[in-house]
Amino acid sequence: MKTAVVLSLAIVAQAAGNVYLSKGMREMASAGQISGDDLPLILLRGIESPTIWIGTALLLAFFLLYAAALSWADLSFVLPATAFGYVVNVACGYYFLNEAVRPARWTGAALISIGVFFVARSGPVEHGSEKVVKPDRSGQ
Amino acid sequence: MKTAMAIAIVVFAGSAGDVSLTKGMKQVGVISVIVPRAFASIGKRVLTNKFFLVGVVFMAVSFFAFLAVLSWADLSLIIPATSISFVVSTVGAKLILKERISRLRWAGALLVSLGVALISLP
């Protein structure tokens, strides 16, 4: 249960963070502030953008939750599980933003869902222990 | 070519970061999210862990490469291209972290990787 809760929060934070960050970077790019390949300039400009601050804060929250989960669960469990965020994004776009979702995207969402289901069924095995914990009933 | 290089950096630095971060967090020990007053001592243990810090550096490299490539290429190209990192990280987890990965979990990682690629194609 603990793993499920922490990873759910992580997924939400990451999805929202990516949206904000992407928006912020595009705003900068369209304002012609990025000349191409100088990173320091991109960093400096980024500091001035509230959108990028919000995105970065959300991604930091994601990172803290992700690191916490990694303290007790396998990387090979936690990483694919967080990919469920992509499915959340597609579903949100469809239900809340009335986006037209093409069949290829639904197929991708289905593949991710099946993949995450497989990974969840494989159980969060603790590193170094020989004990295989059953799928997420006790939480870890 | 610039885009391919940047995407390779995003993928490999990201996976190296994941692996190192996991090693660090495993050394720190299980974090109880229920007990807030332990945060300070846990924070200190985490921030002084070598593997955690190396992991953060790798992730920062990956993140800035991602930011940079985001500014000139479409997200619909970048995400499918970097989706292979789910498989690269799983390989790293097996080889370096010695995680035992069942066939079911390999299949899951592969499906996730394919799904992520498919979902973000233009």
Q: Look at residues B49, B40, B41 and name the one whose alpha carbon lies nearest to residue B20.
A: B49
- Cβ B101–A68 below 8 Å, yes or no? no
pLDDT at B21: 95
pLDDT at A49: 82
**A108 in contact with B at a CB cutoff of 8 Å?**
yes
Residue reference for tokens 């810090």 = B53
Query: Phi and psi at residue A110, in whole multiples of 5°?
Result: -65, -45
pLDDT at position A32 over 70 = no
**B116 in contact with A at a CB cutoff of 8 Å?**
yes
Q: Where are the alpha helices (DSSP H) in A31-70?
A: 39-47, 50-70
Pairs of residues, one from chain A and one from chain B, whose beta carbons lie less than 8 Å apart: 159
How far is residue A133's CA from residue A75's CA, in Å, rounded to a whole number? 15
Beta-carbon neighbour count of residue A54 at 10 Å? 17
Average pLDDT, stretch A11-36?
75
Q: What is the pLDDT of residues A36-54, one digit of tens each?
A: 556 566 667 777 788 889 9
Report ipTM for this prediction.
0.86
User: Into how many domains does chain B fold?
Assistant: 1
pLDDT band at A33 (very low <50, low <70, confident <90, very high): low
Q: What is the pLDDT of residues A81-105, one digit of tens each?
A: 998 888 887 777 777 667 778 888 8
- Cβ B29–A71 below 8 Å, yes or no? yes
C-alpha distance from residue B30 to each of A11, A67, B34 (Å): 20, 10, 12
pLDDT at B98: 93
**A86 in contact with B at a CB cutoff of 8 Å?**
yes
DSSP-assigned letter for residue A113: H
Query: Phi and psi at residue A123, in whole multiples of 5°?
Result: 75, 145
Q: Look at residues B27, B25, B19 and name the one whose alpha carbon lies nearest to residue A65.
A: B25
- Cβ B119–A90 below 8 Å, yes or no? yes
pLDDT at A130: 40
- Cβ A116–B112 below 8 Å, yes or no? yes
**A44 in contact with B at a CB cutoff of 8 Å?**
no
Residues 41-70 of B with CB under 8 A from A: 46, 52, 59, 64, 67-68, 70
pLDDT band at A113 (very low <50, low <70, confident <90, very high): very high
pLDDT at B12: 96
pLDDT, one tens digit for every residue, chain B (122 residues): 788 999 999 999 999 999 999 999 999 888 876 666 777 788 888 999 999 999 999 999 998 998 889 888 887 788 888 889 999 999 999 999 999 999 999 999 999 999 999 987 76
Tell how far CA B20 is from the center of its chain. Answer: 9
How far is residue A6's CA from residue A62's CA, in Å, rounded to a whole number? 9
B100 three-class SS:
coil
> Which structural domain, as residue segments, surrounds residue B88?
2-120
User: Is the sign of the CA dihedral A96, A102, A106, A111 positive or negative?
Assistant: negative
**Higher-confidence residue: B102 or A130?**
B102
How far is residue A13's CA from residue A84's CA, in Å, rounded to a whole number? 12
